Amino acid sequence: MVPTFMIMPSMACQASCKYCFGPYQGPMMSKDIMTQSAEFIKGVANQTQPSAIRIIFHGGEPLLLPLDRWRFLLTSLCESLTDYPLSFSVQSNLWRFDEEYAQLFAKFHVHVASSLDGPEIICDAQRGDGYFQKTMAGIRLAQRYGLLSGVIATITDQSKDQVQEVVNFFDKEELSVLLHEAQTGKRPGAESYTINPKDFGEALLRVLPWYVDDAQHIFIRNYHQFASGLLRGNPRVCSLRDCLGMFLAIAPDGNISSCQRFAGLREYVLGNVRSKPSLEQLFDSEPALRQKDREERVRKECAECGFVHICHGGCYHNAVFAGDGIIDPQCVSIRMIYSYLQEKMLDELTAQCEPKYRQLGMR
């Protein structure tokens, strides 16, 4: 498996999202670690010989890194990885995204994604006053430069009954969106925003008929990820797959983990870019072996579930921090959506085949 690399230029974040489950405090990446990261990625690429290298810049808030260091980071990566086509993207609240950042990202073909929870009144109630206006300004600028790829909208216990209003907003704005569930957060009071898995599943199912029949300008990635699982046996999202090896996340101090959500947690460090570890060394580390063991335990504990091969126990991070360490609590919503889609697909197939059955005298 060829990993996607995640680089975290900053662990800090200036927003105050009330349910935040990710890192929002910590250092910025030094130029030395940037150089070491580029060399580490080159080593892994030479080992795996990918057709292209995908790099996602995450956080924290990556644009807290000053512009001159961004220029250094992108240049270092391009100079070190000349033998491979590169694909860059960044996940940002876009508060610091201005003409200079836009011009730099356009030069290096960095696609931009953001996080926005729907209309202003809903978004700011969850992410803090002023969040909507600042992020929408960044979205407009990214659209003007042709850089915007989509947004993530978090559905919480507070907004679950407004999910139709949320998707109506994105349809009107013609924005691709991924609806994300609020899990157990790290900020004080975050638990009041955590959504029950059944409620999240019901929210997605309420919106689905509208999306199929009436939506005009919106692409909701969740449904296509689930459909890909059912039709191809290959869900296009890490949280529904055995994810060890899909990503290698590099924190500002050079520590490597299997996902950016584990950044800053020493018990999940696979290695450090300074030592230029091989993939074998990373995946033989104690945290990686724990993750492999979890994948095996999921196959055993979920052996009777018809969706285990396209669910894999859900998100590993969710399983560790919100579940029993094995099964993601969102297993409930995952089964709800897979079951609904499977039933609808079978109904449609039966309806299309019924005339042929009658013509052949079959029942």
Q: 118: which DSSP letter?
A: S
Amino acid at 259: C
Digit-coded pLDDT (tens) for 267-302: 999 999 999 999 999 999 999 999 999 999 999 999
Residue 353 has pLDDT above 80, yes or no: no
The answer to whether 336 and 198 are in contact (CB under 8 A) is: yes
The beta strand positions in the chain, using DSSP E, are 4-7, 53-57, 86-91, 110-115, 148-155, 177-181, 247-250, 255-257, 271-272
How many other CB atoms sit within 10 Å of the CB of residue 196? 14
Helical axes 131-144 vs 99-108, angle rounded to 10°: 50
Digit-coded pLDDT (tens) for 143-157: 999 999 999 999 999
Q: 262: which DSSP letter?
A: G
The answer to whether 329 and 315 are in contact (CB under 8 A) is: no
So what's the pLDDT on residue 351? 79
Give the total residue count for the chain. Answer: 363
Distance CA 174, CA 5 (A): 29
157 three-state secondary structure: coil
Distance CA 329, CA 163 (A): 20
Q: Is it true that the peptide bond before 325 is cis, omega within 30 degrees of 0?
A: no
Distance CA 267, CA 142 (A): 37
Distance CA 79, CA 87 (A): 14
The first and second tokens of residue 193, run together, are 């925003």
Residue 356 has pLDDT above 70, yes or no: no
Digit-coded pLDDT (tens) for 89-143: 999 999 999 999 999 999 999 999 999 999 999 999 999 999 999 999 999 999 9
Residue 85 has pLDDT above 90, yes or no: yes
Q: What is the dihedral of CA 267, 272, 278, 284, to 10 degrees?
A: -10
Of 301, 308, 297, 352, nearest in space to 334 by CA: 308
The first and second tokens of residue 323, run together, are 């579940």
- pTM to 2 decimals? 0.93
Digit-coded pLDDT (tens) for 296-343: 999 999 999 999 999 999 999 999 988 899 999 999 999 999 999 999
Amino acid at 11: M
The per-residue b/e assignment along 284-323, b for 16 or more CB within 10 angstroms, e otherwise, is ebebbeebeebbeebeeebeeeebbebbbbbbbbbbbbbb
CA distances from 150 to 46, 147, 219, 254, 304 (A): 31, 9, 9, 28, 36
Digit-coded pLDDT (tens) for 178-224: 999 998 766 677 889 999 999 999 999 999 999 999 999 999 999 99
Distance CA 355, CA 362 (A): 10
Of 237, 275, 254, nearest in space to 7 by CA: 254
